[in-house]
Structure 1
Amino acid sequence: MPTEIELLRSLDDEPPAPSTVDIDRAIRSGRRRNRRRGLGYAGVAALTALAVTGVAVANARTTKTPARPVATAKPSVKPKPAYTIPGTPGWSVTAAIAPTSCTLEHLPVPAKEPMALVSAGDPTGQYLVGRTYPKGGGYQAVIWHAGTVRKVMLPGDSEESLRGVNSSGAAVGWSYTDDGQQLPFAYVNGKVLKLPGVKAGSAEAINDAGAIAGSDLTAGDPGSHAVVWPSATGQPIRLPVPAGVKASTADDIDEDGTTVGNLDLKTPYVWFADGTHHALTLPTYQGKKAPSARVFSIRNGVATGVADESESKDGRDGKLWAVKWNVRTGEATVSDRFDMSSDAINAQGWEVGIDKKGYAILYADGRAVPLPMLADHKPGNLTNIANSISDDGRTIGGQSDDAKDVIQAVVWHCK
């Protein structure tokens, strides 16, 4: 039977053809039901498979065990710098006071489309990106700014998603073209640009310097390769990996150019702007060292993700730890604040995610602030998911289910 991290691996990459479901939410739904009903991993696998066959669901991650700090990373590769990743060296963060309450706003959608979600936001909270689900079917990439929504016309009608946006409103994402090819795109100054240098790929994040993190999928599964585009028109930088790695991804990029991603869907990795790179520490808790881990995001030198506690023989006890890495010092810390890995982190180190009772929260300076729902739901039903948080903590973007269990794009205003 597979462990939880193995299920994440099997569902992590975009499928070779457009999917009809937001995979992460399907995984989370199955895992929650598993916990409540006391099922083993066969139950999770079956529920996940059921979700993937026909339910429209949305973004998330994973864990459920206590926590404490742990080890220090030991760089495994120190090459001579052969490249630099664009960023803003020495950028500073303005200190903010942690919010204590949040209110909910339902975001507008084009043509009263029935379903929508927010997938990312910029550091200032001015821009949010995501997608809607038009009445006639399919997907529509959108960007929100100053209370208005605009369609972003990515080529192809099969599937599309915007995955990141910076403080200038430049956004990145991908779409499947009519011939089934997944292509990476940028939306800059109102224009859609195909990212150069790859025949297939994905774009996941963009920093304020305009550098874009993503993957070259030209070789096909499992031959993806982590790349960074220095700009929307620049040729991609192929990020180096240790010998023997079959697949790599670049999943997020910090303001100074530091990029994080994963090797073979089991080893968290960091590439620095000066060309050095190494694996992130696999954390240890109560004498147990995680055999594998995943990193999802980075902000102000702190990366977040999830680690697998063990690979149990029967697949029933595979527990996951939420992890934070200080990529500058190498320290890895296990956290018990979230049921899964937090879903977003800001420059203050504040995080948003699902707590162990199944509710969406903002966790800032030792305080958990609940995020209101559009409609009252029992915990564990994936009613709220927050996918972005501004650096001042005042703006959180995500989704909330309405009274009919339909996903709606929302923003939380916090103070």
Structure 2
Amino acid sequence: MPSETDLLRSLDPEPPQPSTVDIARAVTDGRRRKTRRGVGYAGVAAVTAIAIVGVAVAVGANRDNTGVKTPVAAPKTSAPAKPAYTIPGTTGWAAPAATAPTSCTIEKLPVPDGVKMALVSGADPTGAYQVGRSYPKGGYQAVIWHNGQATKVDLPGDLEESLRDVNSSGTAVGWSYQGKTDADTGPVPYAYVNGKVVKLPGVSRGEATAINEAGAITGQAADRAVVWPAATGAPIFLPVPKGTKESTAGDIDEDGTVVGNLDLKVPFVWFADGTSRALTLPTVEGKKAVSARVFSIRNGWAIGVADQTDDAGKGRATGKMWAVRWNVRTGEAKISTDWDMRAEELNAQGWEIGITKQGRAALLAGGKQIALPELAPHDPGALTNIPNAISDDGKVISGQSDDASDTIRAVVWRCV
């Protein structure tokens, strides 16, 4: 099994600037060492214990278009704590009605200054906005797209930078590497609000990883998880259980529920009512997984990976990872056999995108896999066609695809 150190080696090889690591992307890359490169964009999917007050998501017991029941609230395993702070959520939010697509087409997104190499790392729930970065000669450039129109976002610093997520108001979050010496070089968290770049307050070094429709932002400060209630709000340094060495806030649902990991091995969920619990480790081939990591949450569903326990049952990982899907309200964990290691992202319908076991990009909706076409033919499993974000109605999927010259291009798939 690739160790966590091995996973951290999946770095951008070009341009030759300080690189950061996307643990989620690195996990996917881990079993594809044969590829000629791996493209990473910074951010670590880990999070700490948190007591959150928010507004409950409007979630019913109806079946979604995947044929499974939508998550419903269940008793928590920990007693409610007196809330110390509030994380904004959206009142009365519910998933939009949607019909599972049956086919998708691909198109390139324009890139400022005629630069070709670019990628999309996140998008808003409607599919109107995408964020990511381009690779101008000798550097990086943060980019936001709105309805197909690209705009450069000039984050401070001359080193690596990227935008990670955006909501339907066009508020984007990310980071930029800064520092004058190797000793003080590191990422600084930023938001892009109403056309202006804003440094997220209270953190000298860190990253912003996700934002919900209410404007609450998750991220990290060094090895501590934080939440900013708004782009201009003071950060909440999230408490962790005794003995935790590292925590990072990875993703946030519309009701303020946060998912993430403790020490990159314990998947956790923190509810808006102040309760929290570890997510269940799934059973893999008859044995409880030795560890797991959760990366994304949407409408009560969460996705991640689990490490299989060895046959001797001594709690050691075998080297094999499995895709996991959690119902964060009931705690149910199920292994998915649809993906090569993990799903990349999911939407409010519970539909997932990722790389299949055959090495091809696909959408899983309504119990069926829909192929996501490439810009140019490539061998399967070569990480040349990667979906990274999906709209809640399933009509817009965003990511990256290599063209015939093997240049990474920012793309969207339009699905009907």
In terms of mean alpha carbon deviation, does 270-279 or 18-27 score higher?
A: 18-27
Q: Is the 8 A contact 1:84 1:275 kept in 2?
A: no
The answer for the alignment partner of 1:6 in structure 2 is: 4
Pair 1:296 & 2:278 matched: no
**Cα displacement (A) at 1:23:** 7.2
Q: For residue 380 of structure 2, give the secondary structure of its aligned residue in structure 1.
A: coil
Q: Does the CA-based 8 Å contact 2:101-2:395 persist in structure 1?
A: yes
Structure (1/2) with the larger helix percentage: 1
Matches of 2:136 and 2:413 in 1, distance apart? 24
Checking the alignment, whether the CA contact within 8 Å between 2:290 and 2:317 is kept in structure 1 is: no
Aligned residue identity for 1:211: A
Write the letter of the residue equivalent to 1:281. Answer: T
The 1:21–1:84 alpha-carbon spacing in structure 2 relative to 1, beyond 3 Å, is closer
Q: Give 1:110-125 correspondences, 5 Å limit.
A: 110-125=112-127
1:22–1:57 CA contact under 8 A, matched in 2: no
| Structure 1 residues 354 and 366: CA distance shift in structure 2, 3 A | same
| 1:233 to 2:225 alignment | no
Amino acid at match of 1:196: P
Query: 2:10–2:29: 8 Å Cα contact kept in structure 1?
Result: no
User: Superposed, which structure 2 residues align to 1:358-397 within 5 Å?
Assistant: 358-397=359-398
Which of 203, 211, 221 matches 1:198?
A: 203
Q: 1:378 Cα shift?
A: 1.2
Contact 1:166 / 1:208 at 8 angstroms: preserved in 2? yes
Please give the per-residue CA displacement for 1:327-356, whole angstroms capped at 9, x wherever unaligned.
111111111010021111000000000000
Q: TM-score, normalised by structure 1?
A: 0.84
2:105 paired residue number: 103
Instruction: Map residues 191-340 of structure 1 onto 2, 5 A cutoff.
Output: 191-217=196-222, 224-310=223-309, 317-340=318-341
**C-alpha separation in 2, matches of 1:74 and 1:13:** 39
> Which whole-Å CA distance do the structure 1 matches of 2:302 and 2:100 have between them?
20
User: Partners of 2:283 and 2:372 in 1: how far apart?
Assistant: 31
Take 1:57 and 1:74, find their aligned partners in 2: how far apart are those partners?
A: 39
Identical-residue share of aligned pairs (%) = 64
Which residue, 60, 84, 87 being the options, matches 1:85? 87
Q: How many angstroms apart in 1 are the aligned matches of 2:208 and 2:144? A: 16
How far off is 1:18 after superposition? 2.5
Q: How many residues align?
A: 378
Once the two structures are superposed, residues 359-401 of structure 1 have per-residue CA deviations (whole angstroms, 9 ceiling, x without a partner) of: 0000001010000000001101111100000000000000001
Give the deviation of 1:73 after TM superposition.
9.8
Q: Summarize the alignment of residues 46-57 of structure 1 with structure 2, pairs less than 5 Å apart.
A: 55=37, 57=39
Find the aligned partners of 2:28 and 2:118 in 1 and give their Cα distance.
19
Q: Does 1:19 align with 2:16?
A: no
| Paired residues of 1:21 and 1:57 also in contact (CA < 8 A) | no
Unaligned runs of 5+ in 2: 45-73
1:75 and 1:279 in contact (8 A); partners too? no
Match of 2:70 in 1: none
- Give the whole-Å Cα distance in 2 for the aligned partners of 1:236 and 1:158: 25
Unaligned 5+ residue runs, structure 1?
35-46, 62-71, 218-223
* Aligned CA distance change for structure 1 residues 262 and 98 (closer, same or farther; 3 Å): same
Secondary structure of 1:193's counterpart equals: strand
Aligned partners of 2:10 and 2:38 also within 8 Å: no
Distance in structure 1 (CA, Å) of the matches to 2:272 and 2:24: 30
Mapped to 2, the partners of 1:9 and 1:356 lie a distance apart of 20
Structure 1 residues 373 and 77, CA gap change in structure 2 (3 angstroms): farther
> What is the TM-score normalised by the length of structure 2?
0.84
In 2, Cα distance between the equivalents of 1:390 and 1:280?
A: 25
**SS at structure 1 position matched to 2:309:** coil
Give the C-alpha shift of residue 312 in structure 1. 7.8
Q: Does 1:159 align with 2:160?
A: yes
Cα contact 1:268–1:280 (8 A) shared by 2: yes
After superposition, where does 1:391-410 map in structure 2 within 5 Å? 391-410=392-411
1:306 Cα deviation (Å)?
Answer: 0.4
Asked if the contact 1:76–1:279 (Cα under 8 Å) also holds between the matched residues in 2, the reply is: no
Structure 1 residue 193: Cα displacement? 0.3
- Partner Cα separation in structure 2 for residue 322 and residue 160 of structure 1: 29
Q: Secondary structure of 1:343's match? A: strand
Question: Which whole-Å CA distance do the structure 1 matches of 2:265 and 2:33 have between them?
Answer: 25
Deviates more, 1:278-287 or 1:349-358: 278-287
Residue type of the alignment partner of 1:93:
A
Q: How does 1:38-53 map to 2 (within 5 A)?
A: none
* 1:12 to 1:212, Cα distance in 2 relative to 1, 3 A: farther
Distance 1:389 1:312, change over 3 A: same
Contact 1:211/1:228 (8 A) holds in 2 = yes
Supply the AA of the counterpart residue of 1:257: G
